[in-house]
Amino acid sequence: NAGVTQTPKFRILKIGQSMTLQCTQDMNHNYMYWYRQDPGMGLKLIYYSVGAGITDKGEVPNGYNVSRSTTEDFPLRLELAAPSQTSVYFCASSYLTGGNTIYFGEGSWLTVV
């Protein structure tokens, strides 16, 4: 059982470039999330989705976009990358809205230079 799979693991972007972080889960979870984690700052919610076709902003959505066309996939799009988007990105999914059912991917390390 793969759980939550994120790609790529590492990426270096130049300022102004765009890219998509891929996330897929095989647990048939309705809820999916994108977090970013900066050193000493904890995890901040970027976007979340409560089901296919439904997405909403989290705490720090500026500079990002998401889509949820299927239950399994929740890609995160970075438009016009900026150095402030250098971070570790975690995708997560859950069956219910409780934190005890949330499963995280292994993270994507993004550097914008």
Partner 1 sequence: EDQVTQSPEALRLQEGESSSLNCSYTVSGLRGLFWYRQDPGKGPEFLFTLYSAGEEKEKERLKATLTKKESFLHITAPKPEDSATYLCAALGSGNTGKLIFGQGTTLQVKP
> In the complex, which residues of this chain contact partner 1 (CB under 8 A)?
4, 31, 33, 35, 40-45, 48, 50, 56, 58, 90, 92, 94, 96-100, 102-107
Give the amino acid at 32: M
Smaller CB distance to partner 1: residue 5 or 65?
5
Pair type for strands 19-25 and 4-7: antiparallel
- CB 80 to partner 1: min, Å: 26
Taking only Cα atoms into account, the Rg of the chain, rounded to an integer number of angstroms, comes to: 13
Smaller CB distance to partner 1: residue 9 or 83?
9
* Cβ contact 55:68 at 8 Å: yes
- CB 102 to partner 1: min, Å: 7
- CB 72 to partner 1: min, Å: 18
Smaller CB distance to partner 1: residue 45 or 52?
45
Neighbours of 57 (CB within 10 A): 13
* Cβ contact 69:51 at 8 Å: no
